[in-house]
Amino acid sequence: MFRRKPKEEDPEATLARCIVLLDDIRAYRRKDTELIEGYFSQLKKSRFKEHYDMWIKARPSAERIVDMPMNIPGVKKMIGTLAWLKVANRFSLVFLIFFIAIQLVPMWKDVLGPHPFGGNGFLYATIFVVLVVVSMNIATLLDYRIRKKIIAYENQTMDEYASARNKMKECVSKMMKSLAKEAKRSSKGLEYYGLVLYFDDYDNIEVVDKWRPKIMGLFKRSYSHYQVVPKLGSQ
């Protein structure tokens, strides 16, 4: 199967990305472990190569967490449906933009005539907009249902996955220590090394902000995001 190759970037940025990815996995966010492998492989070629060896030992735990949703009855099918919906929504948005352009750009009237679509272009565009909005909301609701099922399963199996999640926590704490060393000898300032994480219980971090993200800008989610920077006194 074809896998995306991570874009080459500064080792500090790659280290920060790996921290965020393992924090995501600890929070049961669906991630591609092959893509994560690619980022840690970049660290292997840098001054942070010890974290590649750490990842090799931690990868089975990461894969166990990532594969967890597939053990929940019905969720695998829902995830597949959601993936297709997201693809369909992207194509629908592109088609909608093209359709509206036909109505507004004079050049298309020269090609298709003064009344394309039998003069009902506005009606068709309105119907299509409604369908796209409905489809996007269905995708949002489906994602919400998947999350609810996963959260319920998490609560039932908390002890079963505790060791794997603690392994992610241990790895993030070690990488934050390396990032703190970089920040201490750098002139870029702590803000440059800021990260947004799902957890605030790691070693070697300082929390500078906390908030609860919203669904569609209205309803607060049940979890928090933390803006953190490396703790310079942790080396």
Tell me the per-residue pLDDT of 106-130, one tens digit each, with 9 for 90 and over: 655 666 656 666 666 677 777 878 8
pLDDT of residue 190: 83
Q: Please state, in angstroms and rounded to a whole number, the distance separating the CA atoms of residues 31 and 69.
A: 12
Q: What are phi and psi of 114, to 5 degrees?
A: -70, -20
User: Does 123 reside within a domain?
Assistant: yes
The DSSP annotation for 22-69 comes to: HHHHHTT----HHHHHHHHHHHHTSTTTHHHHHHHHHHHHHHHHHTGG
Domain that holds residue 92: 72-156
- The list of the chain residues with pLDDT below 50 reads 1-3
In a domain, 112, yes or no: yes
Domains identified in the chain, total number: 1
Q: For residue 85, is it within any domain?
A: yes
pLDDT value for 235: 52
User: Does the residue 117 lie in any domain?
Assistant: yes
Residue 32 lies in a domain: no
pLDDT value of position 1: 37
Residue 24 lies in a domain: no
Asked whether residue 136 is domain-assigned, the answer is yes
In a domain, 105, yes or no: yes
Give the whole-angstrom CA distance, residue 156 versus residue 62: 19
Per the CB < 8 A criterion, the answer to whether 178 and 48 are in contact is yes
| Largest CA-CA distance found in the chain, in angstroms, rounded | 71
125: which 2 tokens?
């565009």
Per-residue pLDDT tens over the stretch 72-99: 888 888 888 888 988 888 888 888 787 7
